[in-house]
């Protein structure tokens, strides 16, 4: 099973064989970059001695995150799944990121960069090896998020690549209530993407090749401009 995520500054590829971790690696990708991930997938197969035809399931992170990045990941995953004739499953990127946290954490908050001084964030509680969603992915200003976490009154581990930009502001409000991820903890692991996809596939047997959609929390600039011109998205021309 192959897991792919391209929603953030670092792209991730992971491979599992049942419960066994076969490969996991992250790499910085340029905004909207696409050429690095197919190369990393090829490297995955080469370094593990696996043939692409051995893949039985493709899993991809659907965001939230970079609009272009999420679309790139979906395009790569769909092309691979279609070409191999194997099922595709999309999983929320924040769920996979939360799995970087320890199982004994009280709460885990995951962050991604938005626009206009805001962040995407969700809140999870470890639950039997998985993550129970406490607050779904939502757009927040940093002060709003800090207040919402403060009101939970429990220790919270905060994870995400955007941390260097917002950590001081969150720490000012949350104080000793907050702990912050370090290094690789703040980057999605492709293995977690693959495991979430496998769990979903085993429970539903639902191939999402033709139905998977990006998890967008905000309309794209193209949609906004379209509306400003007085056009409807469902009417051509």
What would the pLDDT profile of 179-202 be if each residue is shown by its tens digit?
999 999 999 999 999 999 999 999
> What pLDDT is attached to residue 35?
67
> What pLDDT is attached to residue 117?
79
- Give the residue, 220 or 165, on which the prediction is more confident: 165
Superfamily grouping for domain 2-93+187-220: ATPase, nucleotide binding domain (3.30.420.40)
Q: Return the CATH number of the domain spanning residue range 101-186.
A: 3.30.420.40
> What pLDDT is attached to residue 236?
40
pLDDT in tens, 44-79: 999 999 999 999 999 999 999 988 899 999 999 999
234, pLDDT greater than 70? no
86, pLDDT greater than 90? yes
Rounded to an integer, what is the distance from CA 165 to the centroid of its chain?
A: 19
One fold for 2-93+187-220 and 101-186: yes
32, pLDDT greater than 80? no
Tell me the mean pLDDT in the region 13-36.
86
The domain limits of the chain are 2-93+187-220, 101-186
Are residues 44 and 191 in contact, defined by beta-carbon separation less than 8 angstroms?
no
pTM for the model: 0.90
């Amino acid at each position: 099973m192959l897991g792919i995520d391209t929603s953030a500054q670092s792209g991730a590829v992971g491979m599992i064989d049942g419960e066994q971790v076969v490969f996991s690696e992250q790499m910085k990708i340029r905004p909207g970059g696409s050429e690095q991930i197919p190369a990393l997938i090829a490297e995955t197969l080469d370094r593990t001695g696996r043939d692409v035809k051995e893949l039985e399931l493709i899993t991809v992170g659907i965001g939230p995150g970079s609009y272009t990045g999420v679309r790139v990941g979906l395009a790569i995953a769909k092309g691979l799944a279609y070409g191999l004739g194997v099922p595709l499953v999309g999983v929320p990127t924040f769920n996979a990121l939360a799995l970087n946290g320890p199982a004994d954490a009280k709460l885990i908050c995951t962050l991604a960069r938005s626009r206009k001084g805001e962040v995407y964030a969700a809140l999870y509680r470890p639950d039997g090896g998985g993550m129970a969603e406490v607050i779904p992915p939502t757009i927040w200003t940093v002060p709003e998020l800090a207040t919402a976490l403060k009101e939970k009154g429990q220790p919270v581990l905060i994870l995400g690549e955007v941390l260097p930009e917002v950590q001081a502001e969150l720490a000012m409000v949350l104080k000793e209530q907050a702990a912050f991820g370090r290094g690789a903890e703040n980057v999605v692991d492709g293995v977690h993407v693959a495991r979430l996809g496998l769990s979903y596939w085993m429970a539903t047997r639902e191939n999402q090749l033709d139905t998977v959609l990006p998890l967008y929390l905000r309309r794209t600039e193209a949609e906004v401009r379209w509306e400003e011109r007085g056009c409807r998205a469902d009417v051509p021309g």
